[in-house]
Amino acid sequence: MLSLVILALLLVENIGISFSLVNNVKESSLFNIANDYSNNVSFNFKNILIGNLSTLTVFIVSINKNTGEVIINGVDTKRPNIPFTLDWGDGVVHSGWFPQRHIYHDKNRNYIVKVTSHYSDGTMDTAQILVRFVPPPIKFNNTILFSRNVSIPDHNITLISRIPGYGVPKNLTYFDDSFFTLINRTTIEYILTIALLIQKNFANDNVYSVDGNLKVVVLRDPSFPGAYALWYTHPMAIVVGDCLIRNGYVAWSSFFHELGHIITLNSPSNYFYGSKIDGPASALFSETMAQIFQHATAYELVNYGEKYGLSKDIIFEIEDSAIQTMKLVRLSYEKYVSSGKKFSSWNDPTTLEDETFDTFMTIAYEFFLNAEKLGNYTSPLKKMMSLLQTFEEKDKERYGQFNNSPTASAFRSTLMIAALSYGFGKDLRSEFRELNFPIDDNIYDELLHRMEERSSKTIIKLIRETIIQTITKTKTITLTSVTTTSTLIMTTPITKTFTVIATIISTLKIKPDYTISIIIGIMLLVMGLMLGFVLRKFIHKE
């Protein structure tokens, strides 16, 4: 009896260790590198999140593809009185004031121009810009290329709404070939398909799709001043205004944001958030997650883009686009703090302003800050999603999509904080209380407890399957199988040891005809308990 109590205690105590084990089990082979969490990434958002924000902006005035003449303009709001340094990327470096003119002799490649500001106190600032003469030289991965999970049709597409009451806008059209003179249609489809696959992985592949094949089309709403996601149509669609895709410029980060809506609102697959949280209270889930997904996607693509055959110029453009939107996250967070930390999860339909904006940006900011400390975006995001994916009927009621009450507000806030805490494996309640977020401790505990239950169940199931397989395969008792199993027990940590024993007990229930299993089970149980006692004593001494 006592040993069973200890077994239970150890299982609970060590559950934290088990979490990571479960979450790393399901990885698709395509993302092996992206999931190989090394800290050796070349790009991060640290400077944008906590450093001094750049005061220098540069932009291209004109590129003449025939003569190679390029004119660049810029501004530094610090107004330095020392001339700027311009490194044109072709070996030519010189100093001067804006605007600047340069002639490139080789027009068969692209260049990254680096501009440096010099201040009288000896400090500097830099900005970079791409000069594009030719399309990005991409080495396509054929599997991704042909899957075309995201496509940009060159003709009209009929969208069918899956959700009663959710209509399809009438004014949608398509992007004709005139939009793809510098970066072609296939290249954009390829990159967006990679982004979608990365995001599907963030969502633990737990995403609803009509026929099991996730397809998204990019449609055009010419005068719309941004983009929006039709997550509820078949095929799913993101609708983009001309301002986000023109003259070879693609607002990559905004595209990733809309794909993020598609993925997160269609997750979990059997009870997706979309339609259950929509309305004035949707932002705390939907906009927070779209922000996190868009920047986590950019982080993965910039750091691992070469693995997908992306060229330096396109990686630079993705990086640049994400830096611009990340600045907005930082500024919104700072505004939230400086304007009195006014938490809001309710976007009042009678006002013009979105009262939730700085609040959801603050949650996203905290995610990024913690991800940068960890040097990893994918792993915490997958875990965060796994908690959010426990969403059920009861939660829908408590989220209160049309309910502007303190209780509903506290639930919405607690859901996000619990998911973030679980994602990073640390209790972030005090940080968020400092930021005036309402948090309900009972709900927080309830949500995290769900994950404990799931983790132990998954581990037991996994080990049970492995052992059943081993026993079924060997059928006879051999020295090897006993040795292997006991080695497993002797070398694994306490939690796993006891989980193995628990598993063996449950295995026996399933396969009572295996007398041999019972013998092994009892042997291992005794061995495991002995080991457990020794280790338990050892822990107490410390």
Rounded to a whole number of angstroms, the minimum distance from the CB of residue 253 to Zn ion is 12
The smaller minimum CB distance to Zn ion, of residues 84 and 255, is found at 255
Distance CA(138)–CA(145), nearest Å, equals: 11
Rounded to a whole number of angstroms, the minimum distance from the CB of residue 290 to Zn ion is 4
| DSSP character string of 82-145 | EEEEEE-SSS-EEEE-SSEEEE-S--SS-EEEEEEEE-TTS-EEEEEEEE-SS-------HHHH
**Neighbour-count burial for 284-311, b at 16+ CB within 10 Å, e otherwise:** bbbbbbbbbbbbbbbbbbbbbbebbbbb
Q: What phi-psi label fits residue 174: left (phi over 0), alpha (psi between -120 and 50 degrees) or beta?
A: beta
The smaller minimum CB distance to Zn ion, of residues 290 and 435, is found at 290
Q: Is 54 exposed, middle or buried (0-12, 13-18, 19+ CB in 10 A)?
A: middle
73 SS3 class = strand
Secondary structure of 159-186 as H, E, C letters:
CEECCCCCCCCCCCECCCHHHCCCCCHH
Rounded to a whole number of angstroms, the minimum distance from the CB of residue 166 to Zn ion is 16
The smaller minimum CB distance to Zn ion, of residues 290 and 296, is found at 290
Rounded to a whole number of angstroms, the minimum distance from the CB of residue 30 to Zn ion is 26
Chain position whose Cβ is nearest to Zn ion: 290
Rounded to a whole number of angstroms, the minimum distance from the CB of residue 258 to Zn ion is 7
The smaller minimum CB distance to Zn ion, of residues 354 and 431, is found at 354
Asked whether the beta carbons of 15 and 450 are under 8 A apart, the reply is: no
The smaller minimum CB distance to Zn ion, of residues 35 and 254, is found at 254
The smaller minimum CB distance to Zn ion, of residues 254 and 390, is found at 254
Rounded to a whole number of angstroms, the minimum distance from the CB of residue 266 to Zn ion is 14
Rounded to a whole number of angstroms, the minimum distance from the CB of residue 322 to Zn ion is 15
The smaller minimum CB distance to Zn ion, of residues 56 and 290, is found at 290
Is it true that the peptide bond before 280 is cis, omega within 30 degrees of 0?
no
Rounded to a whole number of angstroms, the minimum distance from the CB of residue 169 to Zn ion is 16
H or E element that contains 62? strand 56-63
Rounded to a whole number of angstroms, the minimum distance from the CB of residue 284 to Zn ion is 12
Task: Give the pair of three-digit tokens for residue 155.
Answer: 């003709």
The smaller minimum CB distance to Zn ion, of residues 34 and 236, is found at 236
The smaller minimum CB distance to Zn ion, of residues 259 and 290, is found at 290
Residues that bind Zn ion (CB under 5 A): 290
Rounded to a whole number of angstroms, the minimum distance from the CB of residue 438 to Zn ion is 23
Q: CA torsion, points 69, 75, 80, 81, in degrees to nearest 10?
A: 50
Question: What are the two backbone dihedrals, phi and then psi, of residue 426, each rounded to the nearest 5 degrees?
Answer: -145, 145
- The strand ranges marked E within 231-376 are 233-234, 236-240, 245-246, 249-250
Asked whether the beta carbons of 65 and 131 are under 8 A apart, the reply is: no
Question: What are the two backbone dihedrals, phi and then psi, of residue 94, each rounded to the nearest 5 degrees?
Answer: -155, 170
The smaller minimum CB distance to Zn ion, of residues 264 and 499, is found at 264
